[in-house]
Amino acid sequence: MHALAVEVWTTNAGIHFDNFVVTHRSSSGPHSSALKDFTESTFTVKSGLEEEKSKKEKKVQRAEEEAIILDKGNISEKVKVYVGRLADFLAENPLALVGTIGAVLVAFFYLIIFGGKEAVKVDEEVDGEGEVVEGKEGDKKEDDSKSEDKKEESKEVQEKENTSEDKKEE
């Protein structure tokens, strides 16, 4: 090789060129490991650092913009900021996303399967004129039988007490 010429024309700020490699070997030949080693030790490391720096700068700029919106913005802009923060958090923490979706699904299916409150029995009904009508015949019979059972129990208790008192007197 007799000469090397590099001409860079750019209209965008922030474009950087460095680490030129000049070789007569192809990248797929038997001596390509030297080229790969050079690339990994220079370009890969530097590009990773540049990406991290760019992400940090964007994060700082976004935080400043969000602070301004939260200070002076209207409610819809504030909601957008909070939704954006939630989306970023869930993107960074997929386990939290899976847990949240799981909890919502479990609650949803629980409500579908077990379905809220049971039907409440009504003891009194109102007729068309607004007057109270006694409960249904079946309900009335059940209530009557329950009250009769209670009366019988109280009679049995009284009889036992009377017999025990009679025995003590003798």
Q: How far apart are CA 47 and CA 10, in angstroms?
A: 19
What is the pLDDT at residue 39? 78
Give the CA radius of gyration of the chain.
Answer: 42
Yes or no: say if 27 and 35 are a contact pair by the CB < 8 Å rule: yes
Separation in Å, CA 148 to CA 136, 140, 145, 159: 18, 12, 5, 16
Number of CB atoms found within 10 A of residue 11's CB: 5
| HSE toward the beta carbon, residue 140, CA cutoff 13 A | 7
Mean pLDDT by 10 residues, the chain (170 residues): 69 69 65 74 83 91 91 90 90 90 93 72 59 53 62 78 68
What is the pLDDT at residue 5? 72
What is the pLDDT at residue 41? 82
Give the helix/strand (H/E) hosting 132.
strand 132-133
Helix-helix angle 75-92:45-72, to 10 degrees? 150
Q: What is the DSSP string of 86-122?
A: HHHHHHH-HHHHHHHHHHHHHHHHHHHHH-SPPPPPP
